[in-house]
Structure 1
Amino acid sequence: MKLTVRHRTEYVYDAPMRSVIQSLRLWPTEFEGQDVKSWSVRVEGHEAERGAAFRDGAGDWVETVSMRNVSAATIVVEGEIETRDLTGVVRGLREKVPPVAYLRPTPMTRLDSGLRELAAGAVDGIDGELDRAHAISRTVRSEVAYTPGATESETTAGEALKLGKGVCQDQTHAIIAAARAVGMAGRYTVGYLHSTEDATVHQASHAWAEIWVTGLGWVGFDAANGCCPDERYIRLGCGLDALAAAPIRGRALGAGREDMNVDVEVQAAGGATPAT
């Protein structure tokens, strides 16, 4: 599938910031599931200085930008990419980090009794790793209902499970935590989605989990849509949790308040209805 992307992140400050430094993880992953035809990431509205640029141990391309005396700036991502359905398998990824590194918990994925019980119940009587991973994803989808606005960006996997609802970030954190509870490495993946299960349009990027399966490698699981990533998905990068995998991470120095607006459009090449 050929997809086009336009992703704008606008920052406005009520008083100029002395300095803004951002780490950008906004370039599609290089692996067999996607080929980039064209791609650009630029800053509009303020002069920005490009800093370090490197491919990290997970195979993701990262660049930093810095700005001074900032009142407003917009990061614009535009590109075209051709994707292929690999049934969720992340094959051909240029990666140096071993899977065991993703067994480490973070504050957002820390295990509690509820998550341990969920994991144990999900895999009870199931031996194969792939079947266990599917069972965990199904169980999280059942126990953490997709409900926009139900949680905050700081909500942990355990808190979302207790609420019984959340967004794709919460479901992904819960899958990762449950996988780790049964000894399987899991990580948080971000990107774009052309359409959801019910064709709903969302003005944001998307998140899903990847679980390491012996013999297959990393396999993606999207609890929000009840599937493994296919040709509708564009993969940007991964990390231990939402914070580590964030497409844009930054720090602003100054006394002003920051307002951020995000708009994402993903279209099938040729002009299909936008979705994310």
Structure 2
Amino acid sequence: MLLTVDHVTRYRYDRPVRGLVQSHRLTPASNDGQKVLEWNVTVSDGIPGGTFRDGAGDCLKGWTVPGPVSEVSVTVTGRVETRDMAGVLRGHREWTPPDCYLQDTLPTRVDAALVEIAETVRGFADALDAAHRLSALVGQAIAYTPGATQSQTTASEAMTQKQGVCQDHAHALLAAARHAGLPGRYVSGYLLADAEGAAHDAAHAWAEIWVQGLGWVGFDAANACCPDDRYIRLGSGLDAQDAAPIRGTTRGPGVEHLDVVVAVQAVQQ
């Protein structure tokens, strides 16, 4: 499938700030499941900095915007040819050992409910079967409800509320998988539509779980499926903050207001 992406993140400040510095994980890597044909990232009034690829194979780039400035726009456009790999990540160059993703973080710490889910797969001999079961149980435990949670919501809090968004599903799945001894990581990216073909938030997130013999396998508990050719993988990390497409620091007292518009479309090849 040939997918196009138009993604604009706009920062507005109630008073001019002295400047800002950002680190972007906004450029997808080509692998067996996706081939990047065109990709461009621009920052209004921005000065590009260094670019490097981290141990997880993700491309990171720095930007500086000198002030005073009251509005900054980060624009991403691109075309990616995707292929359904049944969730298996192949052809992705990385160097970080999978066991590094067994460590938990504040958003991915288990509670009693997540421990109970994790314990259901303790006797499983097949890690792939265990990962599928964990994903299904998390999807059943947390109803997909836009606006029900915030960016700071933890997996435990989402489990208590029994509702959340894709970030919460990914955090909860990671918590359960790690407790069961399966390395897991958070993945940010784009999604054309949900499993039924209905409209969905185009900026999306899911989890990858390490399965010996297969490697990293993606699981989207929010949509009860593995990533296919409707997905574009951007980057990964221990949790949502670690894998955030944009991270930065602003210099000045201005209050920040954020607007994000993302459109993913399928086009005729």
User: Same fold by TM-score, threshold 0.5 exceeded?
Assistant: yes
Identity %: 53
1:198, distance to aligned residue in structure 2 (A): 3.4
1:31, distance to aligned residue in structure 2 (A): 1.4
Instruction: Kindly report structure 1 stretches of 4+ aligned residues shifted beyond 6 Å.
Output: none
Correspondent of 2:66 among 65, 68, 71: 68
Q: Which amino acid aligns with 1:128?
A: D
Q: Which amino acid aligns with 2:183?
A: A
The 3-state SS of whatever aligns with 2:37 is: strand
Q: Is contact 2:144-2:163 (8 Å) kept?
A: yes
Equivalence for 2:86: 87
- Per-residue CA deviations over 1:110-133 (Å, capped at 9, x if unaligned) read 122221112113x26532100000
5+ long unaligned stretches in structure 2: none
1:152, distance to aligned residue in structure 2 (A): 1.0
- Per-residue CA deviations over 1:184-224 (Å, capped at 9, x if unaligned) read 00000010001112333345510000000000000000011
The 3-state SS of whatever aligns with 1:36 is: strand
TM-score, length basis structure 2? 0.97
Q: Which amino acid aligns with 1:156?
A: T
Equivalence for 1:221: 219
Q: Which amino acid aligns with 2:12?
A: V
Equivalence for 2:140: 142
The 3-state SS of whatever aligns with 1:25 is: strand
Distance in 2 (alpha carbons) for counterparts of 1:124 and 1:110: 18
Distance in 1 (alpha carbons) for counterparts of 2:127 and 2:228: 20
Determine whether 1:15 maps to 2:30: no
Q: Which amino acid aligns with 1:102?
A: Y
Equivalence for 1:130: 128
Equivalence for 2:247: 249
Equivalence for 1:78: 77
Distance in 2 (alpha carbons) for counterparts of 1:203 and 1:213: 28
- Per-residue CA deviations over 1:5-61 (Å, capped at 9, x if unaligned) read 1000011111111121111111112211111111100013xx211112100000000
Between the two proteins, the alignment pairs up a number of residues equal to: 268
- Per-residue CA deviations over 1:222-270 (Å, capped at 9, x if unaligned) read 0111100000000000000000000011111111111111001111114
Q: Which amino acid aligns with 2:30?
A: E
The 3-state SS of whatever aligns with 1:244 is: coil
5+ long unaligned stretches in structure 1: 272-276
Distance in 1 (alpha carbons) for counterparts of 2:162 and 2:10: 32
Equivalence for 1:108: 107
What is the 5 A alignment of 1:200-211?
A: 200-211=198-209
Q: Is contact 1:30-1:59 (8 Å) kept?
A: no
- Taking structure 1 as reference, are residues 30 and 270 closer, same or farther at Cα in structure 2, changes over 3 Å only? closer
The 3-state SS of whatever aligns with 1:234 is: strand
1:67, distance to aligned residue in structure 2 (A): 0.9
Equivalence for 1:274: none
Q: Is contact 1:141-1:226 (8 Å) kept?
A: yes
Equivalence for 2:35: 35
1:73, distance to aligned residue in structure 2 (A): 1.2
Correspondent of 2:164 among 163, 166, 176: 166
Distance in 1 (alpha carbons) for counterparts of 2:84 and 2:104: 30
Equivalence for 1:182: 180
Q: Which amino acid aligns with 2:62?
A: T
Correspondent of 2:262 among 261, 264, 269: 264
Q: Is contact 2:29-2:36 (8 Å) kept?
A: no
The 3-state SS of whatever aligns with 2:28 is: coil
Q: Is contact 2:108-2:171 (8 Å) kept?
A: yes
- Taking structure 1 as reference, are residues 133 and 117 closer, same or farther at Cα in structure 2, changes over 3 Å only? same
Larger mean Cα displacement after TM superposition, 235-244 or 157-166: 157-166
